Amino acid sequence: MKIHSLVFSPTGTSAKIARAIADGILQMKNDAGSFSDATRQPLRDSFGQEDLVVMAAPVYGGRMAPLAKERFRDVKGRHTPCVLVAVYGNRAFENALRDMADFARNRGFVPVAAAAFVGEHSYSSARTPVAAGRPDDSDLKAAGELGMAIARKVQVGSLSPVEPGSLRDEVSSEKSLRNFRNFVEEYQKQRKNAPVQYLPELNPALCNGCGTCAQACPTAAIGAKGQGLEAEKCIRCCACVKVCPSGARSFFTPFASVLAENFNVRKSPVWQIG
């Protein structure tokens, strides 16, 4: 069985976890696998029953990131076993794995394992840290252990289909959930009366025109030297903010402080294997 990793990972968190899982599988198999990154361009790969695909993408609003679906749209399987990995920012992954499973099955894949891991939230900053620094060593160790557990199943030929939608998140405190619900309700009311579009901002005084942010942007929304931003293309992944070497880019959203205040209790990876 050949191992392939397919990732959509604007800030690199999904890619790190997918690599760790694949490395765990390959450690048991003593083989080389392939790694395909759909962050900046669509993938058009095809796989068969002799392949095992690790598919990883971030969670946006409790579902698989829409742009990840677009980039994976032309990937095809033929009853191909796959490992689905949802990466979320320590609040909740909600329906993301069920959504990923439906997406994968419609393209000929058979989920045989599913996992939800925490990655640093796109909105995380020094002032409002949300799962800052994750995946950390503990997360990557767990991902490797998941990979080795999958490999043991492969070796004895006992992998079987799973229902990813049955995997449950660690429950946050009722107070945190209530605070977040109240905030969202109030935010939606305000948007009806006074719509606001939050976008990454550039401080020209700090920008040296290196273009690192433009290279990191998954939608080519930023000009070649870091100038200009096409608002309709921006997906608020904040990759541009996180990679800027001079700290010239920042992103403000009222969600950041609410997430930092209410979802700061560390959540652990969860998974299931068929």
The domain limits of the chain are 2-171+266-273, 201-251
Strand partners, 81: 110
The predicted structure's pLDDT at residue 234:
96
Please report the pLDDT score of residue 1 as a whole number: 82
- Classify residue 269 as exposed, middle or buried by CB count within 10 Å of its CB (0-12, 13-18, 19+): buried
For 89, the enclosing helix (H) or strand (E) is none
Cα gap 159→161, rounded to integer Å: 7
Which residue, among 160, 151, 91, 145, has the nearest Cα to 122 in the 3D structure?
91
The pLDDT of residue 229 is 93
Is the Cβ–Cβ distance between 263 and 93 less than 8 Å? Answer: no
10 preceded by a cis bond (ω within 30 of 0): no
d(C-alpha 259, C-alpha 129), whole Å: 9
Residue 84 has pLDDT above 90, yes or no: yes
Nearest 5°: phi and psi at 220?
55, 40
Quick one: pLDDT at residue 30? 61
Beta-carbon-side half-sphere exposure of residue 95 (alpha carbons within 13 Å)? 5
130-182: per-residue pLDDT in tens?
A: 999 999 999 999 999 999 999 999 989 899 999 999 999 999 999 999 999 99
* Total number of residues shown for the chain: 274
Average pLDDT over residues 34-54: 96
pLDDT tens column, 169-200? 999 999 999 999 999 999 999 888 888 889 99
270 has which bridge partners? 116
Task: Express each pLDDT in 3-29 by its tens digit.
Answer: 999 999 999 999 999 999 999 999 876
CB 39 within 8 A of CB 218: yes
CATH architecture of 201-251: 2-Layer Sandwich (3.30)
| Cα–Cα dist 55/6, whole Å | 5
Q: What is the pLDDT of residue 194?
A: 81
Nearest-angstrom CA–CA distance, 168 and 177: 16
The Cα–Cα gap between 142 and 264 comes to 20
Cα gap 88→110, rounded to integer Å:
22
Task: Return the pLDDT at 64.
Answer: 98
CATH topology of domain 2-171+266-273: Rossmann fold (3.40.50)
